[in-house]
Structure 1
Amino acid sequence: MNPTDPASGQPDRLSDPAETPSTAPAGVGLADSRTDSSRVAAFASTRGRYYAVVLALFCCILLISNIAATKVIGFGPIVTDGGAFLFPIAYILGDVISEVYGFAAARKAVITGFAMQLLATAVFFLVQVSPPGPGYENQDAFEAVIGFYPRIVLASMLGYVVGQLLNSFVLVRIKRAMGEKRLWVRLLTSTGVGEAADTVIFCTVAFAGVIPGWDFLGYVIFGFVYKVAVEVILMPVTYRVIKVFKKHEHTYSVDTDLARRAARV
């Protein structure tokens, strides 16, 4: 049994040498990189057993949320869109990826999600402009919903690229400064920064001129408060998921980060 830090869930071990990248150039060892310990943190390799699963789930949530976001929803004075039901989970998954696998892995997830959004937009456009077959009488309804999708995708991609990259960058920088302690600080801080940028960009591009006046301002404010509230409410779940990932990803160690740094020398 490996001893475990109860605060972070990080196994108190170095990674298996067979699973740790060994790409350091000749003459540059892992021990040489330890001198800059203030900038070193524990991460796992993206070749680990779970990264591909989280990446796939991340992309699915983005696609589903953007389709759902084509509908504006009103609960009394509260105005939002259908993406509100699922999209906050994308930021929780972004936190998991950033905390466990690092900024480069989060950037890869953002780029992959971006590519999947473009693919979905292209396919929906081709379906929309294709002539309806015999017996299909819902072309106008289909165009009314999917025809708005490119604007949603543009808004989502701009907001999500800026927001997710900021979210990951802030989280990883705080982790490098504070180590494994106070996970809640980096989760809340990174989410607050990322969601603020994402919400303002998305709402402005997607619904400026569609939702009128003060309703639009309320839409922006509610969107930000709601997404951060979901992060806070689900933080115990996020903690548990991150702890499980750190425990079962065998490359999760400081040596993985050191090897990555050595490979860039």
Structure 2
Amino acid sequence: MTDPRTTPLAPLSGIDAAAGHGRRGIYDLVIMAFCVFLLLSNIGATKLIEFGPILTDGGAILFPLTYILGDVLTEVYGLRGARRAIIAGFAVSILASLTFWLVQIAPAAADYPNQAAFEAVLGVVPRFVLASICGYLVGQFLNAWVLVKIKSRTGEKALWARLLGSTVVGEFADTLVFAAVAWIGVLAAPEFIQFVLIGFVYKTAVEVVMLPVTYRVIAVIKRQEGIAVR
């Protein structure tokens, strides 16, 4: 009879690697980074940035990294693991918006001179909150779904195809939905189209440039979680 105390543990796979056997460190860290990048991007997105003919918003600095981390989560932990991260990000966004709104409406101290500046930068604008949430949910769920669908056809091969394919679909949907809700009626039609196209191209380009890093991160996390790396 085999002694269970000396029997090697079977390799962990998927979300079971994060949810069971006391091994949650890597999964939790990736979700934490995902939520931090999302929160900072949502704050940065309140400012329009213009470089000559290029028009975008401050969220473009970090937001592409949320899609890279979304790809990592889906590739390593599957759709269920990615869904948990997306829901966590949604909850963090709602909590941040509620917090900023409560701080905004709270009576300012007599010697606090920056109430107007606070409202201008962090004041909750329902339209932008709605735009951010709608774009985020549509884009992230499409990103995860497309990656899983491509993986179901290619198996462990062609990682680059599912990383880029999912990003193209997710980023375009996210950018279009956010821009439609936040900026239609504010930006003229040419500016709106420019905003969508530049945002989409830039975010997709970041994914392409970061592809070697994404490969490396996925391999490291899979090894940490006991998942075979091919």
Shared fold, TM over 0.5:
yes
Q: Can you list the C-alpha shifts for 1:18-55, whole angstroms capped at 9, x where unaligned?
A: x75xxxxxxxxxxxxxxxxxxxxx63523243000000
Is residue 2:111 matched to residue 1:140?
no
Offset, 1:142: 1.1
* CA shift for structure 1 position 213: 2.7
Alignment of structure 1 residues 5-44 onto 2, 5 Å: 16-17=9-10, 20=12, 43-44=14-15
* Residue of structure 2 equivalent to 1:30: none
In structure 1, the partner of 2:139 is: 163
Tell me if 1:111 matches 2:48: no
Cα deviation, residue 149, structure 1? 4.5
Task: Confirm whether residue 225 of structure 1 aligns to residue 218 of structure 2.
Answer: no
The answer (yes or no) to whether the contact 1:195–1:228 under 8 Å persists in 2 is: yes
Q: Secondary structure at the match of 1:161?
A: helix
Native 8 Å contact 1:162 1:197 kept in 2:
yes
Q: CA deviation at 1:157?
A: 1.1
1:102 and 2:73 are equivalent in the alignment: no
Q: Structure 2: where are the runs of 5+ without partners? A: 1-7
- Alpha-carbon deviation of 1:176? 2.0
Question: Cα distance 1:173–1:88, how it changes in 2: closer, same or farther (>3 A)?
Answer: same
Alignment check: 8 A CA contact 1:68 1:82 kept: yes
Which residue does the alignment assign to 2:164?
Answer: 188
CA distance in 1, matches of 2:61, 2:187: 19
- Encode CA deviations 1:83-117: one digit per residue, 9 max, x unaligned: 00000000000000000000011111111111111
- Mapped to 2, the partners of 1:141 and 1:164 lie a distance apart of 32
Letter in 2 for 1:227: K
| Structure 2 residue matching 1:50: 3-state secondary structure | helix
Q: Give yes or no for contact 1:65–1:84 (8 Å, CA) kept in 2.
A: yes
Letter of the 1:212 counterpart: A
User: Does 1 or 2 have the higher relative contact order (CA < 8 Å, sep 6+)?
Assistant: 1
Aligned residues: 217
Please report the TM-score for the alignment, with normalisation by the length of structure 2.
Answer: 0.89
* Counterpart selection for 2:176 from 191, 195, 200: 200
CA distance in 2, matches of 1:247, 1:253: 7
Q: Are the counterparts in 1 of residues 90 and 133 from structure 2 also a CA contact under 8 Å?
A: yes
Aligned to 1:179: 155
Q: 2:37: which partner in 1?
A: 61
Aligned counterpart in structure 2 of residue 240 of structure 1, from 184, 200, 216: 216
CA offset at residue 215 of structure 1? Answer: 1.1
Which aligned segments of 4 or more residues in structure 1 are displaced greater than 4 angstroms? Answer: none
SS where residue 9 of structure 2 aligns?
Answer: coil
SS in 2 for 1:102: helix
Cα offset, 1:199, TM superposition: 0.7
Give the CA deviation at 1:128: 0.4
TM-score, length-normalised on structure 1?
A: 0.78
Contact 1:110 1:161 in 2 (8 A): yes
Q: 2:46 & 2:72 partners in 1: Cα distance?
A: 27
- One-letter amino acid of the counterpart of residue 182, structure 1: A
1:122 CA displacement:
0.8
Retained in 2: the 8 A contact 1:70–1:148?
no
Note closer, same or farther for the CA distance 1:16–1:154 as it changes in structure 2 (3 Å cut): farther
**Conserved? CA contact 2:97–2:124, under 8 Å:** no
Change (3 A) 1:148 1:208: farther
Deviates more, 1:100-109 or 1:48-57: 48-57
Structure 1: stretches of 5+ with no match in the other structure: 1-14, 21-41, 255-265
Q: Which amino acid aligns with 2:78?
A: G
Any conservation in 1 of the 2:175–2:200 contact (CA below 8 Å)? yes
Residues 183-212 of structure 1, C-alpha deviations (whole Å, 9 max, x = no match):
001001111111111110011111222222
